[in-house]
């Protein structure tokens, strides 16, 4: 365990097993679609989750990325959603699966969903490694949830604090005195 953590909340093996289950569920849900779904990963935190998840999706898929920020390096959302990188293609008439590392207040996910609807997506679903419903400020639907977690500040497996800890192979709770 990393010296800056209080505890490991979700170990690597549990993450891999849950990605396998989610990949099979997504495969089942989209196996009859003619067009492959486009997985849109929200940078940077979702990249390890995306990489693990798509190993278990037994479909043709497409990938794209958006970089959307609402944290500005802290632990609380600024509620100022900024698009730092937009999609590289049109998604008009396409089925989209938004890939998130964590759904917290729901504000970022709500904003991204509205943007993708305005771009003409025909269907939008959300897969998130972590869900923290106790912090929800707006109503958003998360179709595929890896793990529901308590209201603790977590890092690892893509999640960061000040750009650190993303490379940990598990999700852990950061010591309070570090933030």
Q: Which residues are catalytic?
A: 104
> Are 167 and 152 spatial neighbours (Cβ–Cβ below 8 Å)?
no
Would you give the DSSP letter of residue 92? T
Are 52 and 16 in contact, with CB atoms under 8 Å apart? yes
Distance, in Å, from the CA atom of 121 to the CA atom of 112, rounded to the nearest integer, reads: 12
- DSSP conformation class of 37: P
**First vs last C-alpha separation in the chain:** 18
């Amino acid at each position: 365990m990393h010296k800056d953590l209080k505890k490991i909340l979700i170990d690597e093996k549990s993450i891999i097993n849950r990605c396998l289950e989610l990949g099979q569920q997504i495969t089942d849900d989209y196996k009859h679609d003619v067009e492959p779904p486009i997985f849109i990963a929200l940078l940077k935190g979702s990249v390890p989750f995306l990489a693990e998840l798509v190993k278990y999706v037994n479909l043709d898929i497409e990938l794209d990325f958006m970089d959307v920020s609402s944290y500005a390096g802290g632990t609380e959302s600024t509620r100022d959603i900024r698009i730092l990188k937009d999609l590289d293609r049109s998604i008009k008439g396409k089925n989209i699966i938004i890939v998130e590392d964590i759904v917290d207040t729901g504000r970022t996910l709500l904003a991204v969903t509205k943007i993708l609807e305005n771009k003409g997506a025909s269907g939008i679903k959300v897969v998130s490694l972590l869900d923290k419903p106790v912090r929800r400020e707006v109503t958003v639907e998360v179709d595929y949830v890896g793990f529901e977690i308590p209201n603790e500040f977590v890092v690892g497996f893509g999640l960061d604090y000040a750009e650190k800890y993303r490379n940990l192979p598990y999700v852990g709770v950061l010591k309070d005195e570090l933030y």
